[in-house]
Amino acid sequence: MSTSVSVRRTTNDYYRALYSRTAEIKARYQALTPRSHALFDRAQRVFPGGYTRDSLVREPYAPFLAEGIGSTVVDADRRRIVDLWFNATSLPLGHAHPDVVAAVERQVPYGTAFFGPTEHELRLAELLKERLPSAERVRFANSGSEAVMMAIRFARAFRDRPVIVKFEGSYHGSYDDVSWSVSPPVEALGDGPTPGPIADSKGLIDSHDRVALLPFNDVAALEAFVDAHHAQLAAILVEPVANRMGLILPDPAFISAARALCDRYDIVLLFDEVIAFRTGFHGAQGEIGVSPDLTTLGKIIGGGFPVGAVAGRAEILELSRPGRQGRVSHAGTFNANPITMVAGLATMQVLTPQVFADMAELGERVRCGLREIVAGLPLLVTGIASLFKITAIGQEISNYRDAVTADKAWEGIASLALYNEGFLMTSSLSGCVSAVSTREEVLRFLDTFRRIVAW
Ligand SMILES: Cc1ncc(COP(=O)(O)O)c(C=O)c1O
């Protein structure tokens, strides 16, 4: 099959070629996943619309998964599928890595949760402190969302200021104060330099006095806004790898400007590395050479178990020191539970600089292969280190307003077609490799994608 479409077609014609196969792709999916279908029918009687996690929603229904082994999962219909998303990037060693299994099996018979600290939490926190030079202190939570919520509380308490600067199109979990302008519809965007916050959910209370929205990668807009409002600003919250905007990176000038503004006005620079921490041994901050005041972590540091953490400057995190007047409170029944801690520690110990380098090299192989396949087509390949994304768009992306013009429906159909052929990615074609992903899997994936884009 040829790599690219030989006859030049318009962008819309190109996307339509796959659309025209939607019914066939869905029918094949349904034929391959009858047990998932039956489970989904049952799920609709207990979960609203059949789901209890938004990111899993896909048409006509999500595949139910039964097992994970290394780089693959087995679905409810007993098909083995190559995993290219690893529970939303959270499993850098793949599924059921022997070291993680052994660590958890060692701990389970001796208790899974205590009303008391354990040495395990200390060891994982010490490891994080070593790897992240900006992490002078750490506090654990149970999810990335919780970590973001706590980091924002710390930032507001630090100089007693209310407003968080967030960027349009950035996703930081499900806390109310970051659930603004995550994926607003094009027609709601307006065109001022400081876009108004657009609720990403019903049930949010107006946040104009607590959250300010700015366009990503726009140094002038950031400087103008911060210069004018710094007395109210608690934090600038940035994702060093902007996942929902298409796994794009901030321009170095943009990140440097954010750092300089935070220094000038004593604002907390808050990096959300819940995903980005998998991009390097010292996190994304080590790769881009900018040190934040606070960092939120999650996903990989829990070794496959629910986790979150806030790490950062002692001066800020010490605001939670017990006995302190006006302290920042932070509780949680399962914070630093021993199962998460031993699994996280086992995972992080396997993740040496060499393993990060190997994952990044395999990720680069995927991106290079994809770029060769999409050359001349209205498809864009982005990502960094072990992360990659294919976006149905005919231009580069530097912010949400670019990203929102992508053809999401095309991505969804292509993703379903990939599942039919045995590859699991998100329905917007985000993917990642893990330390157990193989070159052979990558070659097969590229070959399959090559066939799909040529349809
Ligand atoms: C950048 C970022 N921050 C925060 C979160 C929320 O983490 P969790 O899903 O563990 O609550 C996510 C989840 O994908 C994320 O990508």
Per-domain boundaries in the chain:
11-96+352-453, 98-350
Model pLDDT for residues 31-82, shown as the tens digit of each residue: 999 999 999 999 999 999 999 999 999 999 999 999 999 999 999 999 999 9
Query: Rounded to the nearest whole angstrom, what is the distance from the C-alpha of residue 252 to the centroid of ligand 1?
Result: 23
pLDDT value of residue 6: 38
The atom of ligand 1 lying closest to the CA of 144 is: 7
Residues 367, 120 contacting (CB under 8 angstroms): no
Please report which confidence band the pLDDT of residue 10 belongs to, taking 50, 70 and 90 as the band edges: low
pLDDT of residue 304: 98
Residue entry with tokens 């200021």 = 161
Testing ligand 1's pocket by substitution, the residue of 54, 170, 171 carrying the most ligand atoms inside 8 A of its CB is 171
- Taking the CA of residue 299 as reference, the ligand 1 atom at the shortest distance is 10
* Separation of CA 129 and ligand 1 centre (Å): 21
Across 152-156, average pLDDT:
98
**Per-residue 3-state assignment (H helix, E strand, C coil) for the chain:** CCCCCCCCCCHHHHHHHHHCCHHHHHHHHHHHCHHHHHHHHHHCCCCHHHCCCHHHCCCCCCCCEEEEEECEEEECCCCEEEECCHHHHCCCCCECCHHHHHHHHHHHHHCCCCCCCCHHHHHHHHHHHHHCCCCCEEEEECCHHHHHHHHHHHHHHHHCCCEEEEECCCCCCCCHHHCECCCCCHHHCCCCCCCCCCECCCCCCCCCCCEEEECCCCHHHHHHHHHHHHHHEEEEEECCCECCCCCECCCHHHHHHHHHHHHHHCCEEEEECCCHHHHCCCHHHHHHCCCCCEEEEEHHHHCCCCCEEEEECHHHHHHHCCCCCCCCCCCCCCCCCHHHHHHHHHHHHHCCHHHHHHHHHHHHHHHHHHHHHHCCCCCEEECCCCEEEEECCCCCCCCHHHHCCCCHHHHHHHHHHHHHCCEECCCCCEEECCCCCCHHHHHHHHHHHHHHHCC
pLDDT at 194 over 80: no
Q: Which atom of ligand 1 is nearest to the CA of 272?
A: 1
> How many angstroms does the Cα of residue 264 sit away from the middle of ligand 1?
29
User: For ligand 1, atom 3, which residue shows the shortest CA distance?
Assistant: 172
Band of the pLDDT at 187, cuts 50, 70, 90? confident
Best substitution site from 54, 152, 172 to test ligand 1's pocket, by max atoms within 8 Å of Cβ? Answer: 172
Two structure tokens written together for 267: 């604002």
274, 299, 389: which to mutate for ligand 1, most atoms within 8 A of CB? 274
Which residue's alpha carbon is at the smallest distance from atom 7 of ligand 1?
A: 144
Strand-pairing partners, residue 294, are 270, 312
| Ligand 1 atom at minimal distance to the Cα of residue 143 | 10
Residue among 56, 85, 145, 238 whose CB has most ligand 1 atoms within 8 A, to mutate: 145
Q: What percent of the chain has pLDDT over 70?
A: 98
pLDDT, tens digit, 9 for 90 and up, residues 210-226:
999 999 999 999 999 99
Ligand 1: atom nearest CA of 88 is 14
Query: Which option is the CATH number for 11-96+352-453: 2.170.270.10, 3.60.20.30, 3.90.1150.10, 3.40.50.1820?
Result: 3.90.1150.10
The CATH number, out of the four listed (3.90.550.10, 2.60.40.10, 3.40.640.10, 3.30.390.50), of the domain defined by the range 98-350: 3.40.640.10
Token pair belonging to 64 = 């139910």
How many A from CA of 412 to the centre of ligand 1?
A: 21
The residue among 406, 416, 411, 410 whose CA lies nearest residue 429 is 411
Distance from the CA of 368 to the center of ligand 1, in angstroms?
Answer: 27
Rounded to two decimals, the pTM is 0.96
Q: Which of 167, 299, 335 to mutate to test the pocket of ligand 1 (most atoms within 8 A of CB)?
A: 299
Asked if pLDDT for residue 1 goes beyond 70, the answer is: no
For the chain, the average pLDDT equals 96
Give me the sheet containing 430-432, strands edge to edge: 380-382, 387-391, 430-432
Cα 88 to ligand 1 centre (Å)? 9
Atom of ligand 1 nearest to the CA of 244: 16
Protein residues whose CB sits closer than 6 Å to any atom of ligand 1: 88, 143-145, 148, 171-173, 239, 243, 272, 274-275, 298
User: Measured from the CA of 55, which atom of ligand 1 is nearest?
Assistant: 14
- What is the model's pLDDT at position 455? 79
